[in-house]
Amino acid sequence: MMFRPATREDISSIDKIYLKIHNKEQNNELKVGWIKGVYPVRKTAVDALERNDLFVYEKNGEILASAIINQIQVDVYQNGKWIYDGNDSEVMVLHTLVVDPDKGGCGIGTKFVDFYENYALESGCHILRMDTNEKNTAARNLYKKLGYREADIVPCEFNGIPDVNLVLLEKKI
């Protein structure tokens, strides 16, 4: 098992994870707050790959999770009630963390956040930020357990999804 930068060959696997999550959301098996065909979509992964900020978790040749890790802060972050402040070069952001829902409950999300934190430290960033939809209680509970503070909840349109209450989270390491 390993974390690594994604390759073009990983895009189909990542897209399948997105689709599994969307299907489970439509069947009321998950509550993430995403919309199939709107966000995330294959282009979400392709754009991140082209920016070189898409990462995957692979085990036995199978992609089980992916996330986007970079220093791009979503525009609504500007008005967030952050405690930890720093210039952009000190902030690392985790976006679109997805775990194959058929493999959930095995600690993969926790391992990915640990990878993110180590990656941030190696990059000289001590301020960590991320966001999630207010509806995504599973993610909110995980991030709280991992020491992230809910800094604010901001109403917005998020990646084409209307009427989102975006939970802004932070941690200093």
Over the stretch 26-58, which tens digit does the pLDDT of each residue have? 999 999 999 999 999 999 999 999 999 999 999
Distance CA 21, CA 13 (A): 13
Is residue 30 in a domain?
A: yes
Print the domain residue range for 20.
Answer: 2-128
> Which residues make beta-bridge pairs with 69?
94
CATH number of the domain enclosing 123:
3.40.630.30
Q: What is the pLDDT of residues 11-29, one digit of tens each?
A: 999 999 999 999 999 999 9
> In sequence order, what are the residues at sequence separation of 6 or more whose Cβ sits closer than 8 angstroms to the Cβ of residue 122?
none
Question: To which H or E segment does residue 150 belong?
Answer: strand 149-158
Asked if residues 57 and 63 have their Cβ atoms less than 8 Å apart, the reply is yes
Q: How many separate domains does the chain show? A: 1
